[in-house]
């Protein structure tokens, strides 16, 4: 079979398996994306064995995985997955509503501080421990870059997944829903900044370069986005969406070329556009299903091709300890901050359950720093497992809080929401 034909087959296989397992996950009350993450792993080296070419520098294709996914196919899938992730981050940005931030700024800052602080502490403890054992830090990575990358991956929040969970339970328009989304978006932005600095070696120059890219994306979008609503230009909605997509793709691939990640630029584009008056609902209606149903599974498949969970088997103690630390510290930190802000135990517990979810963002950051040589495939496997486990726990932990099963208080309703997931 030719490489082109095999690439088409691989694309169909990844999407079919991810969507099938995603549908099965929904039947047992889990988010679809948790199933899609698991489905992607099923067609990777964890189950099939072997490895793809270039999974790390100098690696050669081997085994069933290497035969089924040749280099040409992996390159094509990587490009498609990058487009999917750029558009996904655009949709993430469109979930960020400034209204809850203004109303409960103190609460949100406390939650962000608790989450970011706890994960920074965990990374500062775990990074030297893992480095001393060998097999976790990339051979040429600095200790600071490794700690930043590890902390960023662990701190990231699965904003769209949590938004979908909230929507399904009728909580997205509530005060709690707005606070969780706002806090999660802020923490994820900090995580992306930390990973961007790590990708550039962890020095001050890297932070300046990252700030320049974010500022450039914001300026471009601030100029172009209002054209969609200007009475002078009167751009048709579909033309406005096309312009926005071009901007998002340029921001994503520009960020990849300059700092090694596609994640930050389109996130900024989405935030600025949403709060500049662009119709988030229109974009979601015309783009959301295609991105999450077809393009995002391809990204998950590419990440899974770099993931062999068997790498964790001979390091089960640090893996379990770090996963337990992520869930416990994020939940306890968020719970404590929410209680201090005046929420009752059930509401605070629900906030903790939702804010511990890492989801796709953990995997996306992990793949970036893996490809940059900062972490090894074993660390990537652990972070992928963290994204999967915290996503799977979000729903059950929310149900245990009692909030997911009762009607949200009417006085907490918020009028601004956008369908996401």
pLDDT averaged over 10-residue windows placed end to end, the chain, 421 residues: 87 94 90 90 93 76 90 93 91 73 85 96 97 94 94 92 79 83 89 88 66 65 56 64 86 82 82 65 78 90 93 94 97 96 94 94 94 94 96 90 58 40 41
- Quick check: 94 and 420 in contact, CB under 8 A? yes
Distance CA 184, CA 115 (A): 9
Non-local (6+) Cβ contacts of 263 within 8 A are 85, 89, 192, 195, 252, 255, 364, 365, 368
- Quick check: 17 and 43 in contact, CB under 8 A? yes
What is residue 244's predicted lDDT score, i.e. its pLDDT?
Answer: 82
Task: Determine whether domain 96-285+312-412 maps to CATH 1.20.1530.
Answer: yes
- Quick check: 339 and 345 in contact, CB under 8 A? yes
Distance CA 131, CA 119 (A): 17
Distance CA 348, CA 345 (A): 5
- C-alpha count within 13 angstroms, C-beta hemisphere, residue 10: 32
What is residue 105's predicted lDDT score, i.e. its pLDDT?
Answer: 87
What is residue 305's predicted lDDT score, i.e. its pLDDT?
Answer: 93
Distance CA 155, CA 120 (A): 8
What is residue 239's predicted lDDT score, i.e. its pLDDT?
Answer: 76
What is residue 199's predicted lDDT score, i.e. its pLDDT?
Answer: 87
What is residue 345's predicted lDDT score, i.e. its pLDDT?
Answer: 94
Which region holds residue 50: left if phi is over 0, alpha if psi is between -120 and 50, else beta?
left
SS3 130: helix
What is residue 420's predicted lDDT score, i.e. its pLDDT?
Answer: 39
What is residue 415's predicted lDDT score, i.e. its pLDDT?
Answer: 40
Residue 200: phi and psi, rounded to 5, are: -100, 15
Tell the residue number behind the tokens 């719970």, with chain if given.
335
What is residue 350's predicted lDDT score, i.e. its pLDDT?
Answer: 94
Tell the residue number behind the tokens 């986005």, with chain if given.
225
């Amino acid at each position: 079979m030719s490489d082109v034909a095999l690439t088409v087959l691989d694309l169909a296989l990844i999407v079919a398996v991810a969507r099938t397992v995603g549908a099965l996950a929904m039947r047992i009350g889990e988010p679809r994306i948790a199933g899609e993450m698991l489905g992607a792993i099923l067609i990777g080296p964890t189950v099939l064995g072997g490895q793809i070419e270039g999974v790390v520098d100098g690696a050669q294709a081997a085994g069933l995985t290497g035969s089924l996914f040749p280099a040409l196919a992996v390159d094509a899938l990587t490009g498609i997955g990058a487009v999917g992730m750029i558009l996904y981050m655009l949709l993430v940005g469109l979930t960020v509503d400034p209204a809850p931030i203004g109303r409960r700024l103190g609460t949100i800052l406390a939650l962000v501080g608790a989450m970011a602080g706890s994960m920074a502490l965990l990374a500062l403890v775990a990074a030297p421990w893992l480095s001393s054992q060998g097999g976790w830090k990339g051979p040429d990575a600095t200790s600071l870059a490794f700690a930043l990358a590890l902390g960023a991956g662990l701190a990231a929040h699965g904003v769209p997944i949590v938004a979908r969970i909230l929507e399904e339970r009728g909580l997205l328009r509530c005060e709690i829903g707005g606070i969780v989304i706002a806090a999660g978006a802020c923490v994820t932005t900090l995580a992306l900044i930390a990973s961007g600095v790590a990708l550039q070696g962890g020095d001050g120059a890297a932070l300046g370069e990252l700030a320049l890219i974010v500022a450039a994306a914001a300026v471009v979008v601030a100029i172009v986005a209002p054209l969609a609503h200007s009475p002078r230009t009167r751009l048709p909605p579909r033309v406005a969406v096309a312009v926005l997509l071009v901007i998002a793709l340029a921001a994503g691939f520009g960020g990849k070329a300059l700092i090694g990640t596609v994640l930050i630029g389109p996130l900024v584009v989405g935030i600025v556009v949403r709060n500049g008056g662009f119709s988030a609902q229109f974009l979601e209606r015309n783009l959301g299903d295609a991105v999450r149903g077809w393009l995002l599974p391809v990204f998950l498949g590419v990440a899974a091709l770099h993931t062999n969970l068997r790498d964790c088997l001979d390091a089960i103690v640090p893996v379990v300890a770090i996963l337990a630390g992520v869930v416990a510290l994020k939940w306890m930190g968020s719970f404590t901050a929410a209680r201090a802000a005046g929420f009752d135990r059930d509401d605070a517990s629900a906030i903790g359950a939702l804010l511990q979810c890492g989801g796709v963002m953990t995997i996306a950051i992990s793949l970036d720093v893996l490809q940059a040589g900062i972490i090894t495939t074993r660390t990537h496997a652990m972070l992928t497992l963290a994204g999967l486990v915290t996503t799977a726990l979000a729903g059950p932990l929310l149900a245990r809080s009692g909030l997911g099963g009762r009607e949200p208080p009417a006085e907490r309703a918020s009028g601004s929401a956008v369908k996401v997931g």
